[in-house]
Each structure stands twice: as structure tokens, then as C-alpha cells.
């Protein structure tokens, strides 16, 4: 090129790439029947529920704090031994969804399940992601809708993946799956009580 230096072929070479086949979210319709949802709620509520806490990155001596203006719910963690039949069914569904829609390198559920109760006054969880630095490597999040949608108002699970929030189904037994780095929220409850079962699928570090 006149007046300039010829650039090497290496500097013009594009990085190799593949088409992104990772979906923003996926679902499994009617994973559990209404009767099974009732049974899951009954089993989980045998345990004592506690106020949900947040990780506090500003205080090493107090790693968890209560902030009901941001997250307001009651939770309890249950192991697979408490819900063995549900655990097996969710595992099969999650393996299938991951293979079809995400193709992440995953190990399985390493943290148990979180049974969550949103109720008045103020039940909600403002915008957040589930992937947390310094904790288990969460790659996929799942939420199973347990409550009858006619018995509560508000309290929608929304994925913040576009200009307008994408509202997930309120149908009982419906499983939603999405990458744990996805920004999402649970809107304030306006009436009644909502129960859900939450889990995180772990694996090797993203690379």
C-alpha cells in the first residue's frame, strides 16, 4: 500500500467462532401434577422456614445481611433425600433441557433445593443474578412453580433479557430453566401466598 506499511496476514485474521446455540431460557410444562405440587409444599413446610438473607460483600465479618427492601421471602433448604422422587424427575428433565437448549458442561445439583415462600407484607426479590463469585459454580438455575395461580396475585418470575421483562408461566408444576448469569426478579406479591422450588445446577468454570 502506497504511503504505508503492509500489514501481516496474522493481524487481519479473524478469530474462529461458532454459532451461539445457547438459549436464553427453556421450560418443562407440567413436570408435576397439582397433587404432586401439594405434596412438595407439605413436605417442605415440615421444616422451619427462615427469613432469606443476602451476601454482604462489604463486611467480611458479617457475610450475610437481612435486607427486606431488596429480598423479602421465607426459605428452607431441603435435600434430595426429602424429595427423592421429585429430585429424580427434575434431574431427568434438566438433563434433557440442557442437552437441547444450553449444552453446558454440568455436574448436577450440589446445593439441595430451596423452598421459597412469598407472602404479605412485601414478599418479593428485586433484580439479581444467581451466579455469585466465591461460591459454588452455578451454571443453570431452575424454578418450579408450586402454587395455584388463582390463589395469589402479583409475585411473577420475570427474566430481564430484553427491554420489557419476560414473564414466566404461573402454571402449577411448570419448570423454568435459565443460565445463572441471567438477570431476573420476582415482582411484589399483592395477595395470597406463592411457593416455588428453586435449584442451581453446578459444573466446571465457564471458559
**Residues 40/189, Cβ–Cβ less than 8 Å:** no
Residue 117 lies in a domain: yes
* pLDDT value of residue 3: 52
User: In whole angstroms, what is the distance from residue 144 CA to residue 27 CA?
Assistant: 10
**Residues 72/124, Cβ–Cβ less than 8 Å:** yes
| Residue 46 CA to its chain's centroid (Å) | 23
Residue 38 lies in a domain: yes
Enter the DSSP assignment of 174: -
Residue 15 lies in a domain: no
Residue 13 lies in a domain: no
CATH number of the domain enclosing 60: 2.60.120.620
* pLDDT value of residue 53: 85
**Residues 150/95, Cβ–Cβ less than 8 Å:** no
User: In whole angstroms, what is the distance from residue 192 CA to residue 155 CA?
Assistant: 10
Residue 64 lies in a domain: yes
Tell whether the torsion through CA atoms of 169, 175, 181 and 185 is positive or negative.
positive
* pLDDT value of residue 15: 81
Q: Which residues of the chain have pLDDT under 50?
A: 1-2
User: In whole angstroms, what is the distance from residue 82 CA to residue 44 CA?
Assistant: 8
Residue 17 lies in a domain: no
Rounded to two decimals, the pTM is 0.88
* pLDDT value of residue 81: 84
* pLDDT value of residue 9: 52
- Write the burial class of residue 111 (CB in 10 Å: 0-12 exposed, 13-18 middle, 19+ buried): middle
Q: How many domains does the chain have?
A: 1
Using DSSP bridges, classify how beta strands 175-179 and 124-128 pair: parallel, antiparallel or unpaired: unpaired
Residue 130 lies in a domain: yes
* pLDDT value of residue 67: 85
Domain that holds residue 176: 23-203
* pLDDT value of residue 14: 73
* pLDDT value of residue 1: 47
| Residue 155 CA to its chain's centroid (Å) | 15
Residue 54 lies in a domain: yes
Cell of 180: 445463572
Among all chains, which residue has been given the C-alpha cell 428452607?
A: 76
Among 133, 141, 73, residue whose Cα is nearest residue 102: 141
* pLDDT value of residue 61: 58
Amino acid at each position: 500500500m502506497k504511503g504505508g506499511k503492509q500489514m501481516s496476514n496474522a493481524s487481519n485474521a479473524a478469530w474462529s467462532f461458532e454459532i451461539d446455540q445457547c438459549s436464553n431460557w427453556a421450560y418443562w410444562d407440567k413436570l408435576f401434577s397439582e397433587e404432586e405440587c401439594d405434596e412438595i409444599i407439605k413436605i417442605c413446610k415440615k421444616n422451619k422456614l427462615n427469613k432469606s438473607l443476602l451476601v454482604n460483600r462489604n463486611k467480611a465479618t458479617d457475610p450475610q445481611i437481612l435486607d427486606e427492601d431488596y429480598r423479602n421471602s421465607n426459605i428452607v433448604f431441603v435435600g434430595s433425600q426429602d424429595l427423592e422422587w421429585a429430585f429424580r424427575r427434575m434431574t431427568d428433565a434438566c438433563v434433557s433441557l440442557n442437552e437441547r437448549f444450553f449444552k453446558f458442561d454440568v455436574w448436577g445439583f450440589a446445593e439441595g433445593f430451596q423452598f421459597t415462600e412469598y407472602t404479605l407484607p412485601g414478599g418479593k426479590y428485586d433484580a439479581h443474578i444467581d451466579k455469585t463469585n466465591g461460591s459454588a459454580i452455578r451454571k443453570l438455575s431452575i424454578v418450579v412453580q408450586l402454587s395455584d395461580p388463582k390463589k395469589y396475585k402479583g409475585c411473577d418470575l420475570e427474566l430481564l433479557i430484553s427491554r420489557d421483562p419476560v414473564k414466566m408461566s404461573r402454571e402449577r408444576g411448570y419448570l423454568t430453566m435459565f443460565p445463572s448469569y441471567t438477570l431476573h426478579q420476582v415482582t411484589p406479591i399483592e395477595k395470597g401466598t406463592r411457593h416455588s422450588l428453586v435449584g442451581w445446577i453446578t459444573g466446571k468454570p465457564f471458559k
